[in-house]
Amino acid sequence: MRIKTPAGGSRTWQWTDAGNNEREARVIRGLLVCYLVRGTLWGRDEVSKGVQPVLQTYDLATATRLNDDLGDLDAEQLEACRIGDRLYDWKRLPWNQYGTGKGGAGKRCKESRLLGILQPGEAWPVIVTAGPGSLKTVPPFVRRLTVPHFQAIVELSLEKQTSSGGIDYSRIVPKFVGTISREDGATMRRLYTEPLSRIAAEIGDDAEVGGGD
């Protein structure tokens, strides 16, 4: 199940569970079994449902071409960053510079983080998408963990923020609440972390909602 960061400054998580039931919560709590980086470059600012991004990366270094419809992207600028067959240097992309986003705010290339949270009593984690507006809170939090992330029990809440353009957005506030043993962590890594890393490209590619600069 995917859970996106809500829009408009909401402090409540909302999602549809495996039984097609509408769920909501102020806090998502569980074991952080998966943590992945992702970057996407879309052909247009307004993204239609089901359309793939032009480029996608899972290491913020090398991007793979997924869509040949460039939209309003400059083909020559894109070609200048090509390093192989449908492979591109993510860091050299001109749209990876601040000021290239919609209205001159942020970057056209969008970064996000995918967090797999295994909640108590559940057999499979929910995948929480931390969009651009949460990059100042989520990555530093994970870097500061004193145990591997698959041993860390965390809580994710939301706070309202306002971008420099006056748009309200929701930002993830992560909190460390406990750990599991090294032995249990090794089991979680084998059952969840490694499989989720291998199927990262199958986790949806919809445009992410999120403000921030």
Please report the pLDDT score of residue 198 as a whole number: 84
Q: Is there a contact between 83 and 62 (Cβ–Cβ < 8 Å)?
A: yes
Percent of the chain with pLDDT over 70: 94
Please report the pLDDT score of residue 209 as a whole number: 42
Q: Tens digits of per-residue pLDDT, 19-35?
A: 788 888 999 999 999 99
Please report the pLDDT score of residue 206 as a whole number: 52
Residue among 90, 56, 93 at smallest CA distance from 73? 93
pTM, full prediction: 0.85
**Is pLDDT of 197 > 50?**
yes
- Residue 105 or residue 195, greater confidence: 195
Letter string b/e over residues 30-47, b meaning 16 or more CB atoms within 10 A of that residue's CB: bbbbbbbbbbbbbbeeeb
- Residue 138 or residue 48, greater confidence: 138
Neighbouring-strand partners of residue 34: 116
Q: Rounded to an integer, what distance in angstroms lies between the CA atom of residue 15 and that of residue 127? A: 11
Rounded to 5 degrees, what angle do the CA atoms 208, 193, 187 make? 155
Please report the pLDDT score of residue 213 as a whole number: 46
Identify the band that residue 48 occupies on the pLDDT scale cut at 50, 70 and 90: confident
- CA neighbours closer than 13 Å in the CB half-sphere of residue 1: 20
- Residue 45 or residue 27, greater confidence: 27
Q: Is there a contact between 59 and 81 (Cβ–Cβ < 8 Å)?
A: no
Q: Tens digits of per-residue pLDDT, 110-152?
A: 999 999 999 999 899 999 999 889 999 999 999 999 999 999 9
Mean residue pLDDT of the chain comes to 90
In DSSP notation, 2-65 reads: EEEPPBTT--SEEEE-TTS-EEEES-EEEEEEEEEEEEEE-SSSSPPTTPPPSEEESSSSEEEE
Mean pLDDT of 40-68: 91
Cβ within 8 Å of residue 13, ≥6 positions away: 3, 6, 24, 25, 26, 27, 28, 156, 158
Q: Is there a contact between 34 and 193 (Cβ–Cβ < 8 Å)?
A: yes
Provide the residue ranges of all domains of the chain, joining segments of one domain with +.
2-202
Q: Tens digits of per-residue pLDDT, 75-100?
A: 999 999 999 999 999 999 999 998 89
Please report the pLDDT score of residue 204 as a whole number: 57
**Which letter does DSSP use for residue 166 in this model?**
S
Please report the pLDDT score of residue 210 as a whole number: 45
Site of tokens 């309003």: 72
